[in-house]
Amino acid sequence: MKLKVCGMRSGENIDSLIAQVNPDWMGLIFYGKSPRFVPEDFAESIVNFPIRKVGVFVNASLQEIKNTSNRFGLQTIQLHGEETSEFTKLVKEKTGLEVFKVFSIKEDIDWKTLEDFVPYVDYFLFDTFTKGYGGSGKTFDWKILRNYPFDKPFLLSGGLSIENIGDIQLLKAEIPQLAGLDINSKFEIEPALKDIGKIREFKERVSSVI
């Protein structure tokens, strides 16, 4: 099971994350209203870390995505707003980077609306709907995912913590397209500062059951 740790910002914290956990991806949030927002002048202290860096964008322009990708040396673009399939295609073609398209789940999801995105995304990511777009710390009703109709792998997000590893195990047994987990606020000491020991424990416990 792949692991993405989202909402990192401090160089020292990133250093420990790589040394002790080495997740598949680390997320950097480029949405100004988030308490985990990473300002541009952090680029120099982050760009050279040896980890796949995911830029999380909310309804940003292609130019902004390209500029930020170059400055921070991003490998992945996470589109976390109301981006259309046409825009997602443009991002994929113009950046050539890995793309995650997020769908925030309120009560239900119409799978038909995802069809046009399939050719342009590497993973879908399902998160809990929140007015602030992400980092809610709340899970959504995972039963909705039982009807997931695509072969495309997806990441599960929204309030994941050590407490719900048992349910994640059950979900994976039902839905093999569940390829990875995205963790964030349940592992925080304060916004954008993670408890690395707790993340290590999560990774070890997930690996022991899945």
Ligand X SMILES: O=C(O)c1ccccc1NCC(=O)[C@H](O)[C@H](O)COP(=O)(O)O
Output the furthest CA–CA distance in the chain (Å, rounded): 44
The DSSP-derived string for 70-120 is: HHHT-SEEEE-SS--HHHHHHHHHHH--EEEEEEEESS---GGGGGGGGGG
Residue 81 Cβ, how far from ligand X at the closest point, in Å? 8
The values of phi and psi at residue 110, to 5°, are -95, 105
Residue 180 Cβ, how far from ligand X at the closest point, in Å? 11
The site for ligand X (CB under 6 A) is made up of 6-7, 27, 29, 31, 34, 36, 56, 58, 80, 127, 132-137, 157-160, 182-186
Residue 105 Cβ, how far from ligand X at the closest point, in Å? 11
Of 95 and 185, which has the nearer Cβ to ligand X? 185
Of 72 and 149, which has the nearer Cβ to ligand X? 72
**Dist CA 57 CA 81 (whole Å):** 7
Of 58 and 199, which has the nearer Cβ to ligand X? 58
Residue 88 Cβ, how far from ligand X at the closest point, in Å? 16
| Bridge partners, 77 (sequence order) | 55, 99
Tokens 């290590």 map to which residue?
200
The two three-digit tokens of residue 168, written as one number: 């994640």
Of 112 and 171, which has the nearer Cβ to ligand X? 171
